[in-house]
Copies of this chain bind each other. A is one copy, B any other.
Amino acid sequence: MSMVQSYSSLRKDLAQRDRSLREKVVSLEEAASFVRDEDSVGIGGSTMSRTPMGLIWALIRARRRKLSCSRSIVSSDGDLLFGSGACDHMVTSWFSQGILWGVSKVMRHHVETGKARYDEWSHMAMGMRFRAGAMGVPFMPIRSMLGSDVLRRRPDAVEMECPFTHEKLLLVPALNPDVALIHVQRCDAYGNAQIDGLPFIDVDLAMAANKVILSTERIVSNDQIRRAPDQTKIPFFAVDAVVELPFGCAPHECYGVYEPMIRHMEYYVDLVNKDPVAGMKQYLDRFVYGPKSWTEFLDLIGLEQLLASARAGTAIYDA
């Protein structure tokens, strides 16, 4: 099926990437230029955790169009991508702002009116699709989704009889996005990335994608990386650009650094769920298009909230 990239084309794409040990630090604006209209974009983290919000924010400001995005679980990042018109196709297992706020009116508005598409897979299937992509194989076998309507809506998954056990299995197709957006706690200028706490599917996503853009809370020396190589989760040669972006997940969380800025999230949810069109426009104008820089956006969230979430974020290590 055409949805899976052939091995020769997958290898050709990778062979063309510069995998040499070189510095890759770019500005947030330059990073956005690595993504083209109509690209398939894999997004790291899950729900409100380690979401590369800064990179998404930059893509929206750069007026990208017709992106096809994929993520394990989508939160307000998906709202903004749909609402801004940057993305009209989301591949995920769950899409709303968060369980606390019911169903996203923005997601509903775009999907129910046919403005955008939402392809639903199970959470494990999403993970296995990225893993197949990371391993350089066209599929992974799984035992879920069978017998459900989730599968009935996904003809691009193939049921097979196991040649060893003659049991029924489902083969889910590899997902190799054109670009991956991933936020980490630290990496060096080459892109060697270390992730604390919940890793989600980010390592598989990074190895699967044909291009990887990292945003990081801070850039550390290569010496620091080499002192603890068993803490490195993404190798430099899989990375194409590095952006240093403190609070780069705001208003979402970054494990061990800050928790979600819930007051800002509540303000946002209230605004867009009252009116998914006008409310969204108002939010985008004020918080995405308005600020001159990411720091100015953080300033709009407010130092008090930033400090409070940072205090809560580091508290995980007090337990």
Interface residue ranges, A against B (CB under 8 Å) = 1, 3-4, 6-7, 136-143, 158, 160, 162-165, 167, 169, 171, 173-174, 196-199, 226-227, 230, 317, 319
B169 touches A163 (CB 8 A): no
Given contacts A1-B164, A137-B140, 15 further A-B contacts (CB under 8 A): A1-B163, A3-B164, A4-B164, A4-B165, A7-B143, A137-B141, A137-B169, A138-B167, A139-B162, A139-B163, A160-B163, A164-B171, A197-B230, A198-B230, A226-B319
In whole angstroms, what is the CA distance A142 to B199 when docked? 25
Copies of this protein, total:
2
* In the complex, chain B residues whose CB is within 8 Å of the CB of A137: 140-143, 169
A164 touches B169 (CB 8 A): no
Q: A139-B141, A162-B139 are in contact. Are A167 and B7 (CB under 8 A)?
A: yes
Cβ distance A112 to chain B, nearest Cβ, rounded Å: 31
- Can you spell out 17 A-B residue pairs with CB atoms less than 8 angstroms apart? A1-B164, A3-B164, A137-B142, A137-B169, A138-B162, A138-B165, A138-B167, A138-B169, A139-B163, A141-B141, A158-B163, A158-B164, A164-B171, A164-B174, A198-B230, A199-B230, A227-B317
